[in-house]
Each structure stands twice: as C-alpha cells, then as structure tokens.
Amino acid sequence: MIINFEELEVWKECMDYRMQISVVLKYFPIEEKFRIVDQLI
C-alpha cells in the first residue's frame, strides 16, 4: 500500500529524469541555463 507520493513509481522516475536534466544543464552556457531551468525545473 502506498502511504505517500514519494512511494509512487512515477514520482521516482520523474526524480531520476530531473537529475539527468540537471547533469546536462551543467554544460549549457549561463544565459541559456537560466532560461531553460526556469521552464524545466
């Protein structure tokens, strides 16, 4: 039985995806990073 949202598989997958995006964004130019981060994260 699921007690909170953090136990949902979809939430776990989204957190993994978010971490992957963060890693990729480290290599973006600073001016682009702020624009994309505001939209994605």
- Calpha distance 29→13 (Å, rounded): 27
Q: Supply the range of the domain harboring residue 31.
A: 5-40
pTM exceeds 0.85: no
What is residue 21's predicted lDDT score, i.e. its pLDDT?
85
| Of residues 37 and 7, more confidently modeled | 7
For tokens 């993994």, what's the residue? 16
In the predicted structure, residue 3 carries a pLDDT above the cut 80: yes
Over the stretch 12-41, which tens digit does the pLDDT of each residue have? Answer: 999 999 899 888 888 888 877 777 767 766
Q: What is the DSSP string of 25-40?
A: HTTS-HHHHHHHHHHH
What is residue 40's predicted lDDT score, i.e. its pLDDT?
67
- Say how many domains are in the chain: 1
